[in-house]
């Protein structure tokens, strides 16, 4: 007869609890990393390549990022042209695992950038699209770790329900603002999907990428447009240089409305340390500035 301790160890090793794994995941930037974390819970370790307050457009991968990718079970990216540096990083790391495009299935919008039509990559700023991101993440984690499929589905559905409530809340908040006052000045074109979903007009001197440069003629035209349309508030962005938008505001009389978090979360001590908190903060600050 085997010693009791050996029998117990053997039975535990064969149990579902023992077989449950931890998925090693890498996400391209902090917003997406938080979505993976919220759905994955205790069964996922998430590394964000672009950290809090980091700019996903201007990111420069390091050897440490290459190592993180090499060790990953699954990699999550937003797609739509956001991560222009990704192919080089994948090639350098030798990563050959699954690449999940979290924006898959989203109805994309397009914008003009330096005379060309380009896809707007900032889809997550509409909570309707955030729900699609969360659903795609949930489905990918189920594939990566079938043993914990029920766990991921339970957390994923609860998270989606929370995001749906936020979407409804945002619409009700903006409904309290007169349509002619739903106009704001920001640093760059990161809120296209947001504006489309919630009826807000955003004006910005720089295009979809913070690496773009605004011409003098565009800035002058924007100043005239802001004066003509009576834009009352301007907002800086946590990941972008605020100097140009402040100069435009000074020339137009627009008042400071606060800081927004369109493509990078704050650190843990800040007001936007999760996707949910960032969205709630952005809506609340905008509405207050418009009123």
State how far the Cα of 21 lies from the Cα of 155, in Å rounded to an integer. 16
**Per-residue pLDDT reduced to its tens digit, 85-130:** 999 999 999 999 999 999 999 999 987 766 788 899 999 999 999 9
Task: Report angle CA 66, 72, 76 to the nearest 5 degrees.
Answer: 90
Are 25 and 146 part of one and the same domain?
yes
Q: What distances in angstroms separate CA 116 from CA 119, 120, 230, one per listed residue?
A: 10, 12, 29
State how far the Cα of 241 lies from the Cα of 224, in Å rounded to an integer. 22
Residues 6+ apart with CB under 8 A from 160: 131, 134, 135, 138
**Per-residue pLDDT reduced to its tens digit, 241-284:** 677 778 877 887 878 788 889 999 999 999 999 999 999 999 99
Total number of domains in the chain: 2
Question: pLDDT value at position 214?
Answer: 59
Q: Which range of residues forms the domain containing residue 51? A: 14-169
Asked if the structure places residue 1 within a domain, the reply is no
Are 150 and 243 part of one and the same domain?
no
Mean pLDDT of 52-76: 95
**Per-residue pLDDT reduced to its tens digit, 1-48:** 344 444 433 433 444 444 558 999 999 999 999 999 999 999 999 999
- Listed residues 120, 142, 169: the one ending a domain: 169
Are 190 and 277 part of one and the same domain?
yes
Question: pLDDT value at position 213?
Answer: 60
SS (H, E, C) 210-250: CCCCCCHHHHHHHHHHHHHHCCCEEEEECCCCCHHHHHHHH
Strand 110-113 and strand 116-119: pairing? antiparallel
Are 180 and 152 part of one and the same domain?
no
Asked if the structure places residue 217 within a domain, the reply is yes
State how far the Cα of 131 lies from the Cα of 197, in Å rounded to an integer. 13
Are 153 and 211 part of one and the same domain?
no
Are 96 and 224 part of one and the same domain?
no
- Listed residues 107, 142, 169: the one ending a domain: 169
Asked if the structure places residue 4 within a domain, the reply is no
Are 56 and 141 part of one and the same domain?
yes
Question: pLDDT value at position 111?
Answer: 77
Are 101 and 126 part of one and the same domain?
yes
Are 24 and 164 part of one and the same domain?
yes
Give this prediction's pTM.
0.85
Are 164 and 59 part of one and the same domain?
yes
State how far the Cα of 100 lies from the Cα of 50, in Å rounded to an integer. 17
**Per-residue pLDDT reduced to its tens digit, 192-221:** 999 999 999 988 765 444 445 656 777 777
* Strand arrangement of the beta sheet that strand 183-185 belongs to: 201-203, 183-185, 233-237, 255-260
Asked if the structure places residue 6 within a domain, the reply is no
Asked if the structure places residue 3 within a domain, the reply is no
Within the chain, where are the H helices?
A: 4-14, 16-19, 30-40, 63-70, 86-93, 127-144, 149-174, 192-198, 216-229, 243-252, 275-290
**Per-residue pLDDT reduced to its tens digit, 144-190:** 999 999 999 999 999 999 999 999 999 999 999 999 989 888 866 78
Are 67 and 188 part of one and the same domain?
no
Are 227 and 203 part of one and the same domain?
yes
Token pair listed for 130: 């955030």
Question: pLDDT value at position 188?
Answer: 63
What is the CATH classification number for the domain harbouring 278? 3.40.50.1980
Give Cα 109 distance to the centre of its chain.
16
- Listed residues 169, 190, 222: the one ending a domain: 169
């Amino acid at each position: 007869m085997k010693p009791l301790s050996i029998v117990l160890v053997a039975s535990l090793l064969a149990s579902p609890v023992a077989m449950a794994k931890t998925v090693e995941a890498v996400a391209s930037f902090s917003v997406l990393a938080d979505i993976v974390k919220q759905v994955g819970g205790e069964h996922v370790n998430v590394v964000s390549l672009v950290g809090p307050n980091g700019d996903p457009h201007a990111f420069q991968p390091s050897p440490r990022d290459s190592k993180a990718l090499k060790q990953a079970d699954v990699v999550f990216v937003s797609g739509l042209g956001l991560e222009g540096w990704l192919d080089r990083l994948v090639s350098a790391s030798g990563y050959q695992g699954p690449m999940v495009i979290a924006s898959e299935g989203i109805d994309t919008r397009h914008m003009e950038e330096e005379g060309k039509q380009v896809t707007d990559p900032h889809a997550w700023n509409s909570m309707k699209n955030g729900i699609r991101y969360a659903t795609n993440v949930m489905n990918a984690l189920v594939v990566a770790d079938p043993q914990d499929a029920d766990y991921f589905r339970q957390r994923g559905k609860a998270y989606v329900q929370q995001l749906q409530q936020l979407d409804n809340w945002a619409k009700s908040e903006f409904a309290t603002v007169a349509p002619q006052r739903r106009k704001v000045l920001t640093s760059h074109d990161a809120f296209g999907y947001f504006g489309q979903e919630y009826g807000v007009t955003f004006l910005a001197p720089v295009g979809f990428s913070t690496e773009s440069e605004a011409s003098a003629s565009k800035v002058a035209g924007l100043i005239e447009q802001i004066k003509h349309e009576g834009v009352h508030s301007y907002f800086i962005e946590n990941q972008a240089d605020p100097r140009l938008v402040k100069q435009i505001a000074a020339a137009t009389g627009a008042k400071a409305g606060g800081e927004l978090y369109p493509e990078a979360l704050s650190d843990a001590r800040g007001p936007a340390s999760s996707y949910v908190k960032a969205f709630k903060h952005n809506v609340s600050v905008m509405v207050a500035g418009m009123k």
